[in-house]
Amino acid sequence: MTVRQGSRRCFSSSKNLQATWGFIGLGRMGFPMAKNLRAKLPAEDTLFVHDVNTAATSKFLEEHPEGVRVADNVREVAEKAETIITSLPEPHHVAGVYKQMLEPPSLLTDGFVTTERLFIDCSTIDPMTSKSVADAAHSSGQGRFIDAPMSGGVVGAQAGTLTFMIGAAPEVVERATAVLSMMGRRVLHLGEQGSGLHGKLANNYLLALNNIATAEAMNMGIQWGLDPKALAGMINISTGKCWPSEVNNPVPGVVEGSPASRGYEGGFGVSLANKDLKLAIKSAKESGIKLALGDQAKAFYDEVEAAENCKGRDFSVVYRHLGGKE
């Protein structure tokens, strides 16, 4: 992949040769993503970073003394960078950050960078908030906004092997793909703005339910006296096979190296799984889509998230909360 595809040189009318980039939100995902981005950019380009947590920006600058500038606030990032990536926790963080970046609507005329911005939001949020941010960017004419939620977790972010599901107008897909390919392996264009989030939430809804169902089925079989590995082996060549049964089996010892086999440490945190489930339920309800199991699953994850012996662990810990034999 050529880096230059995604940089100013191909699509900008600016006289400068260097491209400018922005990254907001140097958290568990954002920090390694920004690291990979910086590593793949030409040395002469500048990456502006910002996080409300100054320890994160200081650490980033320490690790990358060349080609990185810490911006005082998110407006400065929007003023100085032409391609801006955000990786923020919740919908209200995304709404707040974009409001500050887009107001006043003078990004193209204030003299720093005069080209239309490309805003790429990698956060997992609800499609409605994402649409309102997109509308603000598009109606003010300051830039294009796409949703690009990701999967692959912290390990994928570190290795640069993330999958991005993007919702974008056709004319920005090539540019966005070039940018995201510096941080991931696959970029799936699912349709217009909002489609990336719709795809991500539908997938994570299914995952949240499959995870509980797998824990219940494994617990059921084990209580009936079946051997855990024999049961999982049978399911995994039968119609119950799914990612939680095959890769992330919730019973300790069934899959070597799985979170369950190391005390449910690491993996996909139960709060993150519950956050995505709640976003999917909220968005489905807003669209008038009937769900049979969502509310019950949510109530169960709320319990698991609050239980002393489960909180902060991989979401397969639902098996422990069911009273499964460990």
Residues serving a catalytic function are 200
Sign of CA dihedral 277, 280, 285, 291: negative
Distance CA 232, CA 240 (A): 10
Q: If binding is defined by CB under 6 A, does position 97 make contact with ligand NAD?
A: yes
Q: If binding is defined by CB under 6 A, does position 50 make contact with ligand NAD?
A: yes
Q: Give the residue with the Cβ less far from ligand NAD, 153 or 184.
A: 153
Q: Cα 93 vs. chain centroid, distance in angstroms?
A: 14
Q: How far is the CB of 217 from ligand NAD (least distance, A)?
A: 25
Distance CA 176, CA 269 (A): 28
Residues between 259 and 278 that touch ligand NAD (CB under 6 A):
272
Q: Give the residue with the Cβ less far from ligand NAD, 24 or 251.
A: 24
Q: How far is the CB of 260 from ligand NAD (least distance, A)?
A: 17
Q: If binding is defined by CB under 6 A, does position 83 make contact with ligand NAD?
A: no
Q: Give the residue with the Cβ less far from ligand NAD, 51 or 76.
A: 51
Q: How far is the CB of 41 from ligand NAD (least distance, A)?
A: 21
Pairing relation of β-strands 117-121 and 83-86?
Answer: parallel
Question: Of 273, 268, 214, 274, which Cα lies nearest the Cα of 246?
Answer: 214
Q: If binding is defined by CB under 6 A, does position 70 make contact with ligand NAD?
A: no
Q: Give the residue with the Cβ less far from ligand NAD, 269 or 294.
A: 269
Q: If binding is defined by CB under 6 A, does position 181 make contact with ligand NAD?
A: no
Q: Give the residue with the Cβ less far from ligand NAD, 7 or 124.
A: 124
Helix (H, G, I), strand (E, B) or coil at 146: strand
Q: How far is the CB of 74 from ligand NAD (least distance, A)?
A: 6
Alpha-helix residue ranges (DSSP H) falling in the chain: 8-11, 30-40, 54-63, 74-80, 91-102, 127-139, 153-159, 170-180, 195-223, 228-235, 243-246, 270-286, 294-306, 318-321
CA distances to 6, 51, 168, 189, 279 from 74, rounded to whole Å, are 21, 8, 23, 27, 25
Of 3, 4, 40, 89, the one binding ligand NAD (CB under 6 A) is 89
Token pair 């440490």 is at which residue? 265
Residues between 14 and 43 that touch ligand NAD (CB under 6 A):
24-30
Q: How many residues bind ligand NAD (CB under 6 A)?
A: 26
- SS3 of the chain: helix, strand, coil, percent, to 5: 50, 15, 35
Q: Are 291 and 284 in contact (CB under 8 A)?
A: yes
- Closest residue to bound ligand NAD by CB: 27
Q: How far is the CB of 10 from ligand NAD (least distance, A)?
A: 28
Q: If binding is defined by CB under 6 A, does position 128 make contact with ligand NAD?
A: no
Q: Are 231 and 218 in contact (CB under 8 A)?
A: yes
Q: Give the residue with the Cβ less far from ligand NAD, 28 or 40.
A: 28
Q: Cα 199 vs. chain centroid, distance in angstroms?
A: 12
Question: Of 149, 190, 151, 184, which Cα lies nearest the Cα of 167?
Answer: 190
Q: If binding is defined by CB under 6 A, does position 56 make contact with ligand NAD?
A: yes
Q: If binding is defined by CB under 6 A, does position 79 make contact with ligand NAD?
A: no
Q: If binding is defined by CB under 6 A, does position 93 make contact with ligand NAD?
A: yes
Q: Give the residue with the Cβ less far from ligand NAD, 77 or 297.
A: 77
Q: How far is the CB of 108 from ligand NAD (least distance, A)?
A: 23
Of 20, 83, 123, 142, the one binding ligand NAD (CB under 6 A) is 123
Read out DSSP for 195-212?
A: HHHHHHHHHHHHHHHHHH
Which residues sit at the interface with ligand NAD, rule CB under 6 A?
Answer: 24-30, 50-53, 56, 74, 87-89, 93, 96-97, 123-124, 150-151, 153-154, 272
